[in-house]
Amino acid sequence: MTPTLGQPIDDLEFSLTGNRRAHLSDYRGHHLVLYFYPKASTPGCTQEGQDFRDAFADFTGLDTLILGASRDGLKAQENFKAKQDFPFDLVADTDEALCRLFDVIKLKKLYGRESLGVERSTFLIDGDGILRREWRNVKVKGHVQAVLEAIRELAARP
């Protein structure tokens, strides 16, 4: 079932860079930014990852962890992370389980051809595993700052 704002996220296991397995529940106790991107090492995805990387200290200062996710295999994710010096892990969602959970696989058109692909999307999950914000069909420019502002607002709540 697709996550709903204000509701808990179902737990799910997935593959991470570093050849590790993790669960969404492993991140409880911290805010989690989970961002989905179409393909590792492409221009927009690289820029988005770099923006999260460059703001990493701001996120950690707000007790927030970051995970990037795409359908790329582990080797592609490892190379992307290493080349861009990302200080956060990437998810190799080759079975599309995480993508399906968050309903980010959409019909896309490129040069008149239709195919199923990942819609650039970001989800903010609080320390209790509750979905607090979502951004779908994201435009990269200014997005990371919008996510940071949402976390600041969340942190300011009593």
Within-domain flag for 158: no
Tell whether 157 is covered by a domain: no
The answer to whether position 6 is within a domain reads: no
pLDDT tens digits, residue range 81-116?
999 999 999 999 999 999 999 999 998 877 888 888
Q: Establish if 99 belongs to a structural domain.
A: yes
CA distance 130 to 123: 10
Inter-residue contact 121 to 135 (CB < 8 Å):
yes
Phi and psi of 62, rounded to 5°? -105, 20
The C-alpha atoms of residue 15 and residue 20 are separated, in whole angstroms, by 6
In a domain, 92, yes or no: yes
Q: Which residues are catalytic?
A: 45
pLDDT value for 147? 98
Tokens 């770099």 map to which residue?
50
Closest CA to 50 of 149, 143, 124: 143
Q: Which residue range(s) make up the domain with 66?
A: 13-152
- Report the alpha-carbon distance of residue 31 to residue 126 in Å, rounded: 4
Q: What is the CATH number of the domain that holds 74?
A: 3.40.30.10
Q: How high is the pLDDT of residue 85?
A: 98
- At residue 114, the pLDDT reads 85
Q: Does position 1 have pLDDT exceeding 80, yes or no?
A: no
Per-residue pLDDT tens digits for 105-157:
998 877 888 888 899 999 999 999 999 999 999 999 999 999 999 999 998 87
pLDDT above 90 covers a percentage of the chain that reads 87
What pLDDT sits at residue 29?
Answer: 96
So what's the pLDDT on residue 4? 92
pLDDT of residue 28: 96
Within-domain flag for 2: no
For residues 127 and 63, the answer to whether their CB atoms sit within 8 Å is: yes
122 within domain boundaries: yes
pLDDT of residue 77: 98
| pLDDT value of residue 108 | 80
Average pLDDT on 70-77 reads: 97
| Over residues 18-47, mean pLDDT | 96
Whether 7 is in a domain gets the answer: no
Query: Considering its fold, how many domains does the chain have in total?
Result: 1
For the chain, give the mean pLDDT. Answer: 95
